[in-house]
Structure 1
Amino acid sequence: MQIRLMREDDLHSAERASAATFLEAEELNRRVVEPQVQPRSAEASALWIDRMRLFLTVDPGGCWVAVDEAGEVAGFAISQNRDRLWYLATYGVLPGHQGQGVGKGLMDAALAHAGDRQGIFISSVHPGATRRYRLAGFSLHSQVRMTGTVNRSTLPAVTGLNEGGTDDFSWMDRLDTDLRGAGHGPDHAFMLATLRLIVSRSDARPGYAYVDHRGRVALLAAAHEDTARALLWEALASSQAEAFVPSITAVNEWAMDVGLAAGLDIVQEGYVAVRGMAVPGPYLASGHFL
């Protein structure tokens, strides 16, 4: 098994490895009351490839793969440096190659790229992975997600919010820096191309949220919990079928309170891992852009 920097021609093989790895993980962690896990759709696969292509363009030194003798990707660790923050966007090893040191080699390469930057990522509950993260100096903070159908009779009137655009990126990056030590930079343009951006341009209490076409929160950041609550209520108001609120940690219980008021259920889901920094708040991290 060769561990090396990712190349453009690895993208499709890496996507297949990612889809298989996370499908098995989701099947193992599925609760009995939850629906059967579905394979990644063609649309989601294409989006994954586009996202990895962005990472390869912006910070190729953080993108690593493990390749077998046939040239197929068997593992991947895709990380990025943004100013003084390092984040791990995605990481996994095909089930048949786990327990052979492949994951450790990939993580060592990604962490070497981080240098002395502070770090953050979303962790699964996989015992081997969490052990590796803790040994690398990361603190693991439990997180939950909230799902369910919104009780629309609970929706409050929300004011002071607008649709966002590229002109908002500069103050959004300043807010990101206050909350997590660095702006999202080029990640904002990618998210704006694929998600709805809702903003509060208040000078004292700014905030923003990216929401997908189903009204599911992808990322939320605010200078004050009141703004964060308003943004989350707006996202829930636009939700279709099942709402979804990710990455709720103890410092972000305001989101749990909103979700409970809207009639959503709490589901345990892994950890937010941080090193050299506190868990951001008010903030709901993106799984891929943190």
Structure 2
Amino acid sequence: MNGLTAEIRSAEGWPVPGAVLTVTDMNGRQLARAAAGETGMAATAPLPPGMHTAVVTAPGHQPVARVIRISAAGVGALGEIRLEREADAIALPPPGPWTIDPMHSTVQATARHLGIAGIKARFAEVSGRLDISGVFERSSGFAEIKAATVDTGIGMRDDHLRSSDFLDIERFPLITFTGNGFRRTGGDTWVMPGELVLHGQTRPVELSVTYGGYGPDPWGGVRAAFHAETLLHREDFAIDYNAVVRAGIAAVGTTVKIELDMELVQGEQLPTM
């Protein structure tokens, strides 16, 4: 039988194998120690009942401590523990140009449908670059998305999204973002302020960015990974389609979540594979 259990994950939600769960009593005496497996799960042997301290550690991550109550049966659960990376443990990409690889990058928009469900749309064509400065916070970036490539998996709905009710791709074929600078918010997280041009409207937008690291790829290049997201309001971009289906419930919500998963290749051009 297990004692204290924990599901240990990175800030992005990935398992952290090898993370260590240590339990001490309130006087600091160690009671148990367990390492997380490949799924990020860690479990100790049964523990003495009462209040104890649990500490989760992993190389390159900030430790997390919790006070936990162990039942009379000797068991308890921490649930999911998210570990933030230590700022000085992250190797930032080398300065210079980095080009978005559209084959390994995705842009997804999610909007509420009928107030109860989420409709996801993917944009299949994205390009751009990130110019990394010697001082990372002074880096700049540019991304361009072809509006006509919106894809929800249902042709009729996609045609509606391309129409003048929404993206109006005939008049506004491109969606662009120009970012200037980063502001650190955590060990591997930043905010990138910039301007988004959508549906002919230009608005200030801040992207919440998580850096995934960089390293060599199988084709002789070097790649870096970033995840970015933001919330948009359709009315800010003059997309005011407002069909109401019942009792004030809109067919499509006014808030749209944008998520970008980007792989970038070092250099000004993509390699030939």
Structure of higher RCO (CA pairs closer than 8 Å, 6+ residues apart):
1
Question: What is the TM-score when the length of structure 1 is the normalising length?
Answer: 0.22
Question: What is the TM-score when the length of structure 2 is the normalising length?
Answer: 0.23
Question: Which is higher, the Rg of structure 1 or of structure 2?
Answer: 2
Task: Identify the structure with the greater helix proportion.
Answer: 1
